[in-house]
Amino acid sequence: MQIVVVTGASSGIGKEISLRLLKLGYRVLGVSRSITDKGFESENFTPFQADLSDEKSTSKVCELLKKENVSILINSAGFGRFEPHEELSARVIKDMTFLNLTAPMLLANALLRSLKKNDGYLININSIEAIKTSKFAGVYSATKAGLKAFGDSLFEESRKSGLSVTNINPDMTQSNFYEELRFTTSDKEEEKLFSSDIADAVEHILTMRKGAVVSEYTIRSLRFGIKKK
């Protein structure tokens, strides 16, 4: 049974991907700050509690995961704040940068030998902001563009191995991502994505012929919509 590490597995896109992978027969190691096995109901799910915006906590979970024979790493944890740059606190800037960019690089560093040995997959759940520019999104967009650049570079670096690297860039997706923001997804289905759409993309990537790699997977809603709170 192949082992998958999914960050941000306690809610939203990360949880949906974890549930899909359990259904497909994978063993899932879910990483999140307050995660438990509640809501997963599978003997193949193991929670790893870690605050991936904190250096010590991230380093600790990296050492624990090194002991596992991991075949797939899915970096899904992340958060965003969308304000004029001068109104962001230094703490928010540091935490967003560490969680969205530094932690995925540290996890990849810890698990890359295992991923290569198993001809595995590294999938970054990125954002549409990685490939477009929006006002009030300077730090968030920078972290996501950086994660995309990291994934692209790692793909080129790893092509002599059997490792597949993919950046998934979703548009606005209905999830708890917007709980602390001033806006959220539209009420109309054609103006937003669902977490299941991202899980579909992950399943597609993992079921393709191994010799073919979708290095970038951008998913957008059919129409644009946004809802202010």
Average pLDDT value over all residues in the chain: 96
Reduced to 3 states, what is the DSSP secondary structure of residue 205?
helix
Q: What is the structure's pLDDT at 25?
A: 97
Q: Does domain 3-228 have CATH number 3.90.550.10?
A: no
Q: How far is CA 50 from CA 2, 27, 28, 85, 105, in A?
A: 22, 19, 15, 28, 16
CB atoms within 10 A of CB 41: 9
Provide the H-helix boundaries in 66-118: 90-97, 103-117
Tens of pLDDT, residues 202-229 = 999 999 999 999 999 999 999 999 999 8
- Find the mean pLDDT for residues 193-199: 98
Q: What is the structure's pLDDT at 41?
A: 87
- CA 18/CA 11 separation, integer angstroms: 10
For 204, list phi and psi in degrees, rounded to 5: -60, -45
Q: Is the Cβ–Cβ distance between 57 and 51 less than 8 Å?
A: yes
Tens of pLDDT, residues 136-167 = 999 999 999 999 999 999 999 999 999 999 99
**Domain ranges in the chain?**
3-228
pTM (whole model) above 0.85:
yes
pLDDT at 109 over 90: yes
pLDDT at 188 over 90: yes
- CA 129/CA 198 separation, integer angstroms: 16
Q: What is the structure's pLDDT at 150?
A: 98
Q: What is the structure's pLDDT at 54?
A: 97
Q: Is the Cβ–Cβ distance between 123 and 168 less than 8 Å?
A: yes
Tens of pLDDT, residues 55-104 = 999 999 999 999 999 999 999 999 999 999 999 999 999 999 999 999 99
